[in-house]
Structures are given as C-alpha cells and as structure tokens.
Amino acid sequence: MTGPEKLKWEGTFFAAFNREDFAGLLLGLDDGLAKYEGPNDNLQVVIRKVIGFYEQKGWQNRLLMAVLAARQDKPEIVELARSYGATSVPARQELETILSDSGSLLNFGVWLESAVKIQRAVCRIEIPLKTGGTAFGTGFLVGPDMVITNHHVIKPVLEAEAVANAVICRFDYRVMNDGGVSAGIVYQLAPEWRVSLSPNNRAGREPTTDELDYAVLRLSRPAGTLSAGDKPDAPGTQRGWITLPQDFEPPFGKDSPLFIVQHPQASPIKLALKTNSVLAVNDTRTRVRHRTDTDRGSSGSPCFDQDWKLVALHHSGDPNFAYVYNEGIPVDTIVTSLKNQGIPI
C-alpha cells in the first residue's frame, strides 16, 4: 500500500473502533492487541502497527474484511472495502432491508443449546504427511462413529502421501472461558475407514452429482455415543452428532443467512456468520455460493441456516478472488448420493 492508503486505513479504523472493540476484532483473527502495544502507544499508533504487520504478511484483505464484518453500519468502512474490490458488500441503502428480510426472532435459549451440541460434534482433522508437516481440515460427526469432511481433505491418504492410521479427528479443541485453549480429545480412523467417497470436480468443469467433494469416514470408536470431554469412557453428557436431514431441501434464498462452524487455519473452533450470505445455487444443486468467511483449514465444515438446520458442506473459496464468494455442497444432494449407494445415514 502507498503512504496515503495506509493513512486512510488508519484514520478510518481509528474513527470506527475504541480500544476494547479493536481488541475483540484482533481476537477474532487469532491475534492480540498486546502484541502491538508499546508502553506509551495510543490506539491510533497500535492500529498503525497492526496495518503494517498485516500488509507485511500479505493479509491486508483479511484484516479489511474482518473490519467490514464488525462495522458494516459505518459508511466509511463500507466504502473503503468497496474501493478494494469487495463486491459482496451491499450498498448502504440496502443494509436495513437485507437485515429485515434475513433475520427473525429466535428462541435464544434453544438456539444456544443447539450451538453447544453442534460444537461438540465438530472436529479438526489432522493428517501428518510423509514428507513432513500436517494437512488440516474440518469435519463433523453424522453418526455415532462416522465423520464427514471433504474428499480433498482426505486426498493425501488416497494418494499415499499420508497413512490412514496416522489421521486423527480432534474434538473439543476450543478456547476456554479463562482464555486458555483446550487440547481436546482425539479419535483415530477405523481400519476399514472408507464409508463413501465422492471426488471434487476438475477445474473449469461444472460438477456432476458424482463430484460432490465429500468423504464419509469411520472412526475406530463411536465418539458420538461416548461422553464429551477428555474422559469419554466416564459417565457424562453424550457427545452426539449432527443428523443429516431427510426429505429436506434447503431453500437457499438470495441473501439468506449462513453460519459455518469451522477450524480456520487449524485454529480452535470458530463460528462465522453472515446474515446476508447466500448468493446462488447452480442448476444441478451440486454447489451453493455464499459470502460467509472461511479460511484454510475450514474445508469440510458444516453450514447452517439461522435455526441451526444443516444446509451444506463447505468445501472451497473463490479461486479468482477470495472475497467474492465461498462455496459449499447442498446437504440434500449429499443425502441423495448416499441413499443411492444404499448407505444408511
């Protein structure tokens, strides 16, 4: 960025945030205010340092989108995002209409209870590679011992770049109330781990109903019927699973909400939500495009409507520009595929 651009970002951010809110923004990016604070630095200086750091890492668009998500009610933030090509940002005069159309009054207690149950069923998938390093993805229980994720997440195993018995599914990897991080509990894959595989489509070709980019994996133990927490064999609350809905075709109305529970960049579990998310479904219902934020490591995450109904399996971002759309596979198409194979889920 040029000097004047940096000054514009700095001034715009400073006008939109107080210290507490900016600290919360950084926390949502798995970052922290203390990392940038000198003994005599005011908030504007800290913001300047944050912008410089994110630019150096090449993450300035990620920072800008986080700011936009937190301050869509600020016209100067919206205009700044638009000037950098964020075409998914609604025009200012559309904001109130979009929020009114996509929102509803929710039973808050029921909503929170559902969120807790979903959190317990989502896992980080870790695949140690033979060449070193680890590939990460997200998955979630759809039965007592079955996890669904993307086909491309498990691809290193299929291509002999990793071995199946080294793969683990880590549940309860989350930030605790005291700010610490729970390491969670891990489950391995069963020797006969392949339940169903549907590959991704080739680049530049419209996906068919046999190219849904999903993988249903069997665990070595029935995590869903065991206790949640780090002592699964002790008495306690059953972990449970997310049931694949039968005879349900998500409507995917334009600008309807979409929530995604995920492990972006292999981080502790996160919830990303956007009230005006859905863009469109293709004619064969093999893909749905949306605006809800994701990152590397989010592949295989469950996507929900605002009532916590499972509607899609997230699988990728826009290959051309990361902030135009993300993409998932409608859950009804996956269910049909599994039924056609005679797989009881």
112-137: average pLDDT: 94
| Contacting residues for 106 by C-beta, under 8 A, at least 6 apart | 306, 307
Inform me whether the pLDDT recorded for 340 exceeds 90.
Answer: yes
Residue 294 to residue 323: CA distance in whole angstroms: 10
Strands (DSSP E) contained in the chain are 122-128, 134-143, 146-149, 168-171, 174-175, 181-182, 185-198, 214-219, 258-262, 270-274, 278-281, 288-290, 302-304, 310-317, 326-330
Inform me whether the pLDDT recorded for 122 exceeds 70.
Answer: yes
Inform me whether the pLDDT recorded for 62 exceeds 70.
Answer: yes
Tally Cβ neighbours within 10 Å of residue 94: 12
Q: What is the pLDDT of residue 126?
A: 96
Residue 294 to residue 262: CA distance in whole angstroms: 8
The reported pTM is 0.70
Comparing CA positions, the residue from 212, 339, 175 lying closest to residue 286 is: 212
- Secondary structure of residue 45 in the 3-state scheme: helix
| 129 or 68, higher pLDDT | 129
Say which range, 120-129, 252-261, 309-318, has the weakest mean pLDDT.
Answer: 309-318
Q: What is the pLDDT of residue 164?
A: 97
- Over residues 128-173, the pLDDT tens digits come to 999 999 999 999 999 999 999 999 999 999 999 999 999 999 999 9
Residue 162: exposure state from Cβ atoms within 10 A (0-12, 13-18, ≥19): buried
| Contacting residues for 55 by C-beta, under 8 A, at least 6 apart | 1, 6
Residue 303 to residue 312: CA distance in whole angstroms: 5
Residue reference for tokens 């514009």:
8
Q: Name the amino acid, one letter, at 81.
A: A
Per the structure block, which two tokens stand in for 234? 């002790």
Please tell me what DSSP assigns to residue 139: E
| 84 or 76, higher pLDDT | 76
Say which range, 24-28, 189-193, 266-270, has the weakest mean pLDDT.
Answer: 24-28
